[in-house]
Amino acid sequence: MRWDGLSNSGAATAAPALFGTDAVTRTFDTPEFRGITFHEIRARTIVNRVPGASRMPFEWTVNPYRGCTHACVYCFARKTHGYLDLDTGAGFDSQIVVKVNAPDLLRRELASRRWQGEHIAMGTNVDCYQRAEGRYGLMPGILAALRDYANPFSILTKGTLILRDLELLRQAAAVTNVGTSVSVGFLDRELWRTVEPGTPSPERRLEVCRTLTANDIPCGVLMAPVIPFLGDSPGQLRATVRAIAAAGATSVTPLVLHLRPGAREWFMAWLARHHPQLVRRYETMYADSAYAPKWYQRRITRQVHEYATEFGIGPSRPGGPRRLPAPAEPAATEPQSTQLTLL
Ligand code: SF4
């Protein structure tokens, strides 16, 4: 396994008791992972059923990591770090739980007679192609297992590392249904650098979309998050949809920022530092709910769909039918663990 080599570069210490006696904690001081601590654990199960799945477009997920070095300020998954007694702010960005046995476990679970071969969604909690994946290399084993069992799956990511596994994706797509999406909510570089500091740039993510599509792996774009007052002007929305269309995306799905507990505190502190003049407007907009008002969500959705039509986004193949997806309508009471995290 790829993580065998870690002992040469990481200082290993006892893992928190929370993770079990066989867990190992390593903190790195390399330029790539400076200040990042990995908690290597052996998970007991890897295919997880989504609570309240009837409201979600997927029922089963695989998440080989918890925490995410992409460090998006608005990330909904922050709260789940609290369940591990880890910090939901900077700790979420730097304390990464790695399920080192994920590929073996998945293969075993796919082979079980109880498993019915249902669709598995990845990247729905934290990004499976975050930087840690470059070190641990869990996804090739996961994709190979899904390919060998011809099990349908989808991946949502902000990571360019997915292109490393292009050949595996192609092999899987030859035997089963494979869907991919990247998330790009805006193009503004200053906004990107401050609110998604650990991610590849929006342009690089769209380049991923272009490459996947060019290699017969359909790739849609989750246009998320649309950030009120910072990334929602008609000009910004139009430029983003235009770039998404130019990347050959098969679909575009807008999703307005929502601020659930855990993400809300972290985002509002960021807002106070970078855009203090907007704090009042956000407090008003998100006063009663984690979600922006319906009228605002509808306005954004309508505008994005208008631009999508203008730029002809959607045909799955030249001359094919348009495939503009229905707007995402988050349920106000969704359990936190079922949320897309705006990857
Ligand atoms: S939104 Fe996605 S990419 Fe960003 S920190 Fe959360 S899991 Fe990672």
Residue 32 belongs to some domain of the structure:
yes
Q: Is the CB of 290 under 6 A from ligand 1?
A: no
Tokens 């902000």 found at: 158
Give the pLDDT mean for 170-175.
98
Give the pLDDT mean for 115-120.
97
Output the pLDDT for position 16: 57
| Tens digit of each residue's pLDDT (9 = 90 or more) over 253-291 | 999 999 999 999 999 999 999 999 999 999 999 999 999
Residue 281 belongs to some domain of the structure:
yes
Q: What are phi and psi of 80, to 5 degrees?
A: -65, -25
Output the pLDDT for position 290: 96
Output the pLDDT for position 341: 47
Q: Which is the closest atom of ligand 1 to the Cα of 93?
A: 5
Local structure of 32: helix, strand or coil:
coil
Residue 41 belongs to some domain of the structure:
yes
User: What Cα–Cα distance (Å) separates residue 253 from each residue in 2, 304, 306, 308?
Assistant: 36, 8, 12, 10
Give the pLDDT mean for 99-111.
97
Output the pLDDT for position 13: 60
Q: Which is the closest atom of ligand 1 to the Cα of 68?
A: 8
Above 50 in pLDDT, residue 5? no
Give the pLDDT mean for 111-115.
97
Above 90 in pLDDT, residue 31? no
User: What Cα–Cα distance (Å) separates residue 128 from each residue in 61, 105, 335?
Assistant: 11, 16, 21
Residue 118 belongs to some domain of the structure:
yes
Mutate which of 63, 74, 75, 182 for ligand 1 pocket (most atoms within 8 A of beta carbon): 75
How far apart are the CA of 126 and the centre of ligand 1, in A?
6
pLDDT band at residue 21, thresholds of 50, 70 and 90? low
| Tens digit of each residue's pLDDT (9 = 90 or more) over 155-171 | 999 999 999 999 999 99
Q: Is the CB of 182 under 6 A from ligand 1?
A: no
Q: Is the CB of 221 under 6 A from ligand 1?
A: no
Q: Which residue did the predictor score with more confidence, 320 or 90?
A: 90
pTM over 0.85: yes
Output the pLDDT for position 330: 35
CATH number at residue 107: 3.20.20.70
pLDDT band at residue 333, thresholds of 50, 70 and 90? very low
Residue 204 belongs to some domain of the structure:
yes
Query: How many domains does the chain contain in total?
Result: 1
Give the pLDDT mean for 21-39.
80
C-alpha dihedral (139, 143, 149, 151), degrees to nearest 10: 100
**Domain region containing 81:** 2-338
pLDDT band at residue 332, thresholds of 50, 70 and 90? very low
Output the pLDDT for position 141: 98
Q: Which residue did the predictor score with more confidence, 268 or 325?
A: 268
Residue 148 belongs to some domain of the structure:
yes
pLDDT band at residue 339, thresholds of 50, 70 and 90? very low
Output the pLDDT for position 27: 74
Q: Is the CB of 340 under 6 A from ligand 1?
A: no
Above 70 in pLDDT, residue 9? no
Residue 343 belongs to some domain of the structure:
no
Above 90 in pLDDT, residue 94? yes
Above 80 in pLDDT, residue 311? yes
How far apart are the CA of 198 and the centre of ligand 1, in A?
9
CA-nearest residue for atom 4, ligand 1, is: 72
Mean pLDDT across the chain: 87
Instruction: Please check whether residue 154 is in contact with residue 180, taking contact to mean a CB–CB distance below 8 angstroms.
Output: yes
Least reliable range by pLDDT among 2-11, 56-65, 104-113, 215-224:
2-11
Output the pLDDT for position 337: 31
Q: Is the CB of 71 under 6 A from ligand 1?
A: yes
